[in-house]
């Protein structure tokens, strides 16, 4: 697709307007600023082309357009009036160039680390990700290149971008994430250690046969997922195991608090189980908790849950202080 003079005029108008207002630019505003008469329909078609070419982005379906990193580069290199930029204008361009790219890079990196994009699998196409994330294809392409430089992505000519099989870089990303979120995670672990041993005691005292059958089934699914080294499924059944115990306590306040805690540690679970040793380490504690509950031994159920969560806290400290991901 050719970058015609009219497309360049429209791109320049969008960039100029966005620098001044920080608001997406619609077709009506562009029509009013065009040097020659042109219809809104024509401008909309040109905007669609510029978006497909990676020069513009559309934050929402009904929104106007904003410049992409590629669009800003073309503007700076060819289109802008040759004058000295003010400090505010320069800062605005630098921020606009960096922010979308950093956000897209971080989203893709997070999905690789948490297992959404599995090792050695092909990443979604640039067009697919650009629509999902509300950015231009050029921004996604640049994010792939940055992630390749960090060892998380492998670009295979003619085939696309793949999750790199070498997880060393992913491990470093995981450690950095744990360190950045250390205090919140420790808070959540402390709440769990106050809540879940009590829930285990109450389940031992109040559970129905169907509660125990469900928990046994969940534990079996957890073990199967560990054997397959399926991190996403491991995290899913770990959450189900602990949540089922809380639900079987029949204590509505515990159930409510547990729901809030689970939401806050969802990413923690996913990242932890990217390293299969962590999942292997959880099998025996889960089995002990399950056996105590099946025996109706409230003291043992409470004790084993407390011991299990103490190890989780120690593992978290090991991760954040020592960078040890094989907990």
What's the CA gap between 36 and 207, in Å, rounded? Answer: 77
Question: 291-320: per-residue pLDDT in tens?
Answer: 999 999 999 999 999 999 998 887 666 655
Crossing angle (nearest 10°) for helices 87-113 and 5-21: 100
DSSP symbol at 86: P
Q: 5-79 architecture in CATH?
A: Orthogonal Bundle (1.10)
Domain spans of the chain, in order of start: 5-79, 99-166, 170-322
Q: What's residue 200's pLDDT?
A: 97
Q: What's residue 146's pLDDT?
A: 82
* pLDDT greater than 50 at residue 326: no
Within this chain, domains 5-79 and 99-166 share the same CATH topology: yes
Q: Note the pTM of the prediction, 2 decimals.
A: 0.50
CATH topology of domain 170-322: 1.20.120
What's the CA gap between 65 and 25, in Å, rounded? Answer: 5
- The CATH code that applies to domain 99-166 is 1.10.10.10
Q: What's residue 174's pLDDT?
A: 54
* C-alpha distance across the termini of the chain, in Å: 52
Residue in 225, 265, 272, 267 with CA at minimum distance from that of residue 242: 265
* pLDDT greater than 90 at residue 150: no
What's the CA gap between 241 and 231, in Å, rounded? Answer: 15
What's the CA gap between 130 and 161, in Å, rounded? Answer: 14
Residue in 221, 190, 226 with CA at minimum distance from that of residue 312: 190
Detail the DSSP E strand segments found in 14-152.
56-57, 66-67
Question: 90-145: per-residue pLDDT in tens?
Answer: 666 555 555 677 788 888 887 876 678 877 789 999 888 888 887 777 788 888 98
């Amino acid at each position: 697709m050719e970058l015609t003079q009219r497309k360049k005029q429209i791109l320049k108008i969008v960039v100029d307007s966005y620098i001044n207002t920080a608001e997406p630019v619609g077709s009506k505003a562009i029509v009013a600023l065009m040097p020659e008469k042109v219809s809104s329909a024509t401008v909309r078609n040109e905007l669609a082309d510029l978006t497909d070419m990676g020069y513009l982005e559309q934050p929402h379906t009904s929104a106007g357009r904003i410049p992409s990193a590629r669009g800003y580069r073309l503007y700076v290199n060819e289109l802008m009036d040759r004058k000295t930029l003010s400090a505010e204008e320069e800062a605005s361009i630098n921020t606009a160039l960096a922010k979308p790219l950093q956000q897209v890079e971080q989203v893709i990196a997070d999905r690789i680390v948490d297992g959404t994009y599995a090792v050695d699998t092909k990443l979604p196409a640039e067009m697919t990700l650009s629509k999902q994330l509300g950015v231009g294809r050029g921004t996604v392409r640049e994010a792939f290149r940055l992630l390749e430089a960090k060892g998380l992505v492998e670009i295979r000519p003619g085939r696309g971008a793949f999750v790199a099989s070498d997880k060393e870089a992913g491990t470093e990303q995981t450690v950095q994430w744990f360190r950045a979120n250390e205090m919140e995670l420790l808070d959540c672990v402390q709440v769990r250690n106050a809540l879940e041993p009590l829930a285990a005691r109450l389940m031992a005292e109040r559970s129905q046969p169907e509660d125990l059958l469900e928990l046994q089934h969940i534990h079996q699914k957890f073990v199967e997922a560990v054997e397959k080294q399926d991190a996403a499924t491991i995290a899913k059944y770990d959450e189900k195991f602990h949540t089922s115990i809380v639900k079987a306590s029949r204590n509505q306040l515990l159930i409510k608090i547990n729901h809030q805690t689970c939401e806050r540690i969802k990413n923690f679970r996913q990242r932890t189980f990217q390293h299969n040793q962590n999942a292997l380490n959880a099998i025996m504690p889960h089995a002990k908790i399950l056996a105590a509950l099946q025996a109706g031994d409230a003291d043992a159920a409470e004790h084993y849950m407390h011991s299990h969560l103490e190890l989780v806290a120690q593992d978290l400290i090991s991760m954040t202080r020592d960078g040890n991901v094989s907990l």
